[in-house]
């Protein structure tokens, strides 16, 4: 009698091979009804996994897509550059990485990009996911089509994505809040906030973390309304100029996203860099110089190379049904002052 195969199980259950693999290996991202169909097919066919065949499967080729924001965002440029460099080293491991530029502020277009991906052209996706409902639905549908999804830098926890690769952004916001609270006087003072968009989960989490800390430990600090500059340098310069005009007594500024060049130029043009404590994100040539010159007081950063390598490892583990080593994939929060800047490359 012919031994049942995983193809037989998939055909009987009416699902993809990748879905059967996820169910058999107990990985998340599969609906309860689908799990029951697969389990029923396994029982009806008396299917038993072939360990030798599974070993051969691990020598498969992997096609991963990285959906990374385009535009003048220095950190995302670094992320794309690191992804390209790392991709060049992966050919011997049969891993190919395709980098697809996206507009992280346009949820419909991101959802449309996710919609055309399936198992015929991709084995796993890493995406910087804006927190829009249509993006969540697109991630869920892609998971249903058998393509594992990992969110990168900015999470979408309400989706069925299988893993998040990035820093704890709420903790990063709390770190920024504590730095500002220590830099500023213990008398009432105003703090301004800039974000690319609070529709980006990483920016929203940073804002929540910072303001939570202010409420409990620095209640004398007044939180001004968040200004959203879409991580654009020109817009952030204009927003900062307006803040300075509207609040001549401004004491602190936290830029939760990119576009630091615009903020830096506005502060330096105003001549008020010594009067305003400025904390931002990501180590770039511009923020490095701003720290050295005293325009910025502190910088919260993450390692884009570590994030790219981690995303590839996680996607491969998801494809293979292998465990994810959480300690290895944890992305650390780096805090830089002018005194501890790493040497430039």
Give the DSSP per-residue string, 64-130.
Answer: EEEEEE-SS-HHHHHHHHHHHHHHTT-GGGTEEEEEEEE-TT-HHHHHHHHHT--TTT-SEEEE---
Model pTM score: 0.81
| Mean pLDDT in consecutive groups of 10 residues from the start of the chain, 345 residues | 79 87 79 89 80 55 95 90 96 93 94 95 95 95 95 94 97 98 96 95 97 98 97 97 98 97 98 97 96 98 97 95 89 97 80
Phi-psi region of 127 (alpha: psi -120 to 50; beta: other; left: phi over 0): beta
The partner residues of 336 in beta bridges, in order of sequence, read 299
CA distance readout (Å), 118 to 115, 216, 294:
8, 47, 49
> Any residues with CB less than 8 A from the CB of 151 and at least 6 apart, and which?
126, 127, 128, 129, 139, 159, 161, 163, 164, 165, 166
In a 3-state reduction of DSSP, which class is residue 165? strand
The whole-number pLDDT of residue 339 equals 96
The whole-number pLDDT of residue 127 equals 97
- Residue 96 CA to residue 102 CA, distance in Å, equals 19
In a 3-state reduction of DSSP, which class is residue 341? coil
- Residue 231 CA to residue 76 CA, distance in Å, equals 11
Query: Are residues 258 and 73 in contact, defined by beta-carbon separation less than 8 angstroms?
Result: yes
Q: How many other CB atoms are found less than 10 A from the CB of residue 7? A: 10
Q: Of 214, 153, 184, 189, give the one whose Cα is nearest residue 297.
A: 184
> Any residues with CB less than 8 A from the CB of 57 and at least 6 apart, and which?
320
The whole-number pLDDT of residue 72 equals 78
Query: Are residues 118 and 57 in contact, defined by beta-carbon separation less than 8 angstroms?
Result: no
Ordered alpha helix ranges (H), the chain: 6-13, 17-24, 32-45, 51-57, 74-87, 107-115, 133-144, 169-183, 201-217, 233-246, 260-270, 285-293, 304-320, 326-329
Task: Please give the full DSSP string across 283-315, using - where no structure is assigned.
Answer: --HHHHHHHHHTS-SEEEE--HHHHHHHHHHHH
Q: Of 122, 152, 21, 127, give the one whose Cα is nearest residue 62.
A: 122
Query: Are residues 129 and 107 in contact, defined by beta-carbon separation less than 8 angstroms?
Result: no
């Amino acid at each position: 009698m012919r031994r049942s195969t995983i193809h037989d199980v998939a055909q009987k259950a009416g699902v993809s091979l990748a879905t059967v693999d996820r169910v058999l290996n107990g990985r998340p991202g599969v609906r309860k009804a689908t799990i029951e169909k697969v389990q029923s097919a396994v029982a009806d066919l008396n299917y038993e996994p072939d360990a030798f065949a599974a070993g051969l499967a691990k020598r498969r080729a992997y096609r991963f897509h990285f959906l990374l924001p385009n535009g003048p965002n220095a950190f995302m440029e670094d992320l794309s550059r690191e992804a390209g460099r790392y991709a060049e080293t992966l050919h011997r491991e049969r891993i190919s990485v395709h980098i697809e530029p996206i507009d992280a502020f346009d949820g419909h277009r991101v959802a449309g990009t996710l919609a055309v991906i399936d198992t015929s052209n991709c084995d796993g996706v890493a995406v910087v996911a804006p927190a829009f409902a249509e993006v969540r639905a697109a991630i869920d549908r892609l998971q249903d089509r058998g393509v594992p999804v990992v969110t990168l830098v900015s999470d979408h926890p309400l989706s069925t994505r299988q893993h998040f690769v990035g820093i704890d952004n709420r903790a990063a916001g709390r770190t920024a809040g504590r730095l500002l609270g220590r830099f500023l006087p213990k008398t009432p003072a105003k703090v301004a906030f800039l974000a690319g968009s609070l529709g980006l989960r990483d920016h929203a989490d940073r804002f929540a973390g910072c303001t939570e800390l202010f409420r409990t430990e620095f209640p004398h600090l007044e939180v001004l309304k968040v200004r959203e500059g879409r991580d654009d340098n020109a817009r952030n310069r204009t927003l900062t100029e307006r803040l300075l005009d509207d609040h001549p007594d401004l004491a602190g500024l936290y830029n939760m996203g990119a576009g630091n060049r615009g903020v830096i130029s506005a502060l330096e043009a105003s001549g008020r860099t010594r009067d305003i404590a400025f904390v931002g994100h990501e180590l770039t040539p511009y923020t490095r110089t701003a720290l050295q010159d005293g325009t910025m007081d502190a910088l919260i950063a993450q390692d884009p190379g570590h994030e790219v390598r981690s995303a590839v490892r996680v996607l491969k583990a998801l494809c293979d049904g292998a465990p994810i080593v959480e300690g290895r994939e944890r992305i650390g929060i780096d805090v830089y002052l002018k005194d501890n800047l790493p040497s430039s490359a």
